[in-house]
Amino acid sequence: MNEKKKQYLTLIKNDPVNFGNLVGFNDLVDIHNEWLKSFLFVNEDQTLLAHRGSYKTTTLAVAIALLMILFPNKNLIFLRKTDTDVVEIIVQVAKILKSDYFQTLAKVLYGVDLILLKETTTEIDTNLKSSSRGTSQLLGMGIYASLTGKHADIVITDDIVNIKDRVSKAERERTKLQYQELQNVKNRGGRFINTGTPWHRDDAISKMPNVQRFDCHQTGLITDDQLQKLRDAMVPSLFAANYELKHIADADSMFTNPTVDDGANTEQIYDGIGQLDAAFGGADGTAYTVIKERDDTLYVYGKLWPGKHVDDCLSEISKHHANFRAGTMHLELNADKGYVAKKVEAMSIPTNTYHEKENKFIKISTYLRSNWSKIIFIKGTDPDYINEILDYTENAEHDDAPDSLATAIRAISNANKLQSFDISEFGFR
């Protein structure tokens, strides 16, 4: 192997993102480099879920072009929701292949000029292929096109689930059925590359294997200020699906458009109180809240551990409590007869215990809903905590986060009533 060929192959192996940058995709950064390496070299089926604006489809287009050069005898089928959706990606891949940089890459690796023998809005074939198969290297299709007789070594799906799958059970079932049919398209020894965004708990993405999630809080590709503007511009369910890769309800939701701080007000939560809604196994989660009222604004930090026993959360809770300089922890006695209170007190955190007598739905409706517009969630608040609140209805499956926050607001409200007590009302002067 000559030295130049070795250099190019080493670059593809370690830093394939450079090829994306060279053809004009300058927004591709380190995280996209990892995605590219996964698309190119992982042999197992994979599913990459990433938020809107993460350049996942752009990364996929670069990966497809590299796959066609590195493995010219493999057949690729690329599927999106509709035939129209496919066109832009096939055209983009063709432009990448015709770029000077990819032409040079093919020349270095194979010693020939790269020629597109077939270039339509649905197919691309090049002169690099030596296989006797009559099918093109790349075939693009809408998810509902006929799959009869189609076969591929690499089956790629991109955004085959969309908002239609969220609102229509019939659409979800139709997409799932077609995705299952794709199993017959994949050649023996082949693999799937799935990318997209989840829209419903029971959509086709729920059937996809080896899922990796990259939400807006992980990638660092969107600033906190931009995220807040996006929150304000759309309903919570849409923001959660598009940017946090979460499913929340909206038809019967009591809460909309939360305000999440950019980090400027973190100190405002210092010297507040805590509330712990403990779980002891099963499907319920442990929810923890810190809250501080200042100038008719409620600053809130929340953390949710879905399906996790409270004992497994106490160490982390202790650290959060100290970090936010929180004081008394409010704890319900009904379920555990003081078990958690003793554990919390052992961590040198003062407790205030109570027996819960109020209906949970009424408590959440009364205290949380009436104060919702006053709440600012400080930076770092768990998105799962916020989303469980946004998902809350009287018949919600899980309600640990809204219950914890409503209880914390009630505790503040009761404390304010005590502070405003006027002894003169009873005739004392």
Q: What is the pLDDT of residue 36?
A: 98
* Terminal-to-terminal C-alpha distance of the chain: 99
The residue type found at 138 is L
Q: What is the pLDDT of residue 426?
A: 42
The residue type found at 139 is L
Average pLDDT over residues 81-97: 94
Other Cβ atoms within 10 Å of 123 Cβ, number: 16
Average pLDDT over residues 265-285: 93
What is the distance between the alpha carbons of residues 202 and 176, in angstroms, rounded to a whole number? 9
Query: Is residue 428 scored above 50 in pLDDT?
Result: no
Cβ atoms of residues 370 and 406 within 8 Å: no
Average pLDDT over residues 340-367: 93
The residue type found at 311 is D
Q: What is the pLDDT of residue 12?
A: 96
Average pLDDT over residues 228-237: 82
pLDDT tens per residue across span 6-63: 999 999 999 999 999 999 999 999 999 999 999 999 999 999 999 999 999 999 999 9
| Topology agreement, domain 3-219 and domain 227-418 | no
pLDDT tens per residue across span 188-219: 999 999 999 888 878 999 999 999 999 999 99
Q: What is the CATH number of domain 227-418?
A: 3.30.420.280
Average pLDDT over residues 358-383: 92
Query: Is residue 233 scored above 90 in pLDDT?
Result: no
CA atoms within 13 Å, Cβ hemisphere of 188: 0
| Residue ranges covered by each domain of the chain | 3-219, 227-418
Query: Is residue 423 scored above 60 in pLDDT?
Result: no
Share of the chain above pLDDT 70, in %: 95
CA-to-CA dists, residue 197 to 208, 231, 243, 367, angstroms: 12, 17, 9, 34
Average pLDDT over residues 317-324: 97
Q: What is the pLDDT of residue 419?
A: 55
Share of the chain above pLDDT 90, in %: 71
pTM of the predicted model, to two decimals?
0.69
Q: Any idea which architecture 3-219 has in CATH?
A: 3-Layer(aba) Sandwich (3.40)
Average pLDDT, the chain: 91
